[in-house]
Amino acid sequence: MEHPLEKFQYCPVCGSTHFEEHNFKSKKCRECGFTYYANPCSATAAFIVNDLDEMLVVRRAKEPAKGTLDLPGGFVDMYETVEEGMRREIKEETGLEVDEIQYLFSSPNVYQYSGMGVHTLDMDFLVHLHGDPDRAKAIVRAADDAAEALWIPINEVNPAAFGLTSIRNAVIRFLQEYEVLRK
């Protein structure tokens, strides 16, 4: 896999072609001294479950992996916390407004976008919707990056239906740990 810094040939500050590898995660300009670090972007994914042990999943409306299952989530914007980003993505993709989110785990990922591997740090959260499941189902509307929203009984969730490797791996881990998480 191509290193993301290989795409950058010119210094973004002075435009010099002497923008060279400094170390594994950075390039430095010999002309102006600017150093650019390729740090991972923050990304989120939500395991939204209700009292019927159903999980809310979405179908991807866009590439990569268009048409496959996904979890509500996405990139964290500048100037927002991971928690704010998680809540925003849930609202944008499902219409749900949630308060309580519980951090579960994280994993490194490479997200293919516009022909480039974008390194991310995916942070996964549990959102348990308590109360009337029919009320939550009535609110949910697929939007933004989601073409469809589906409630699937957790014991019927098939990790192979999730098109993004990082999400598939997170679903596998979640399913393995779900019984412990329920307590």
Q: Which of 148, 156, 177, 179 is catalytic?
A: 148
* Cα 72 to Cα 16: distance, rounded to the nearest angstrom: 41
**Spatial distance between the Cα atoms of 182 and 180, rounded to a whole number of angstroms:** 6
37: phi then psi, degrees, rounded to nearest 5: -105, 130
For residues 61 and 18, give the distance between their C-alpha atoms in angstroms, rounded to a whole number.
40
Among this protein's residues, is 148 annotated catalytic? yes
Which of 88, 70, 69, 68 is closest to 78 using CA atoms?
88
Beta bridge partners of 74: 44
Q: Which positions are annotated as active-site residues?
A: 148
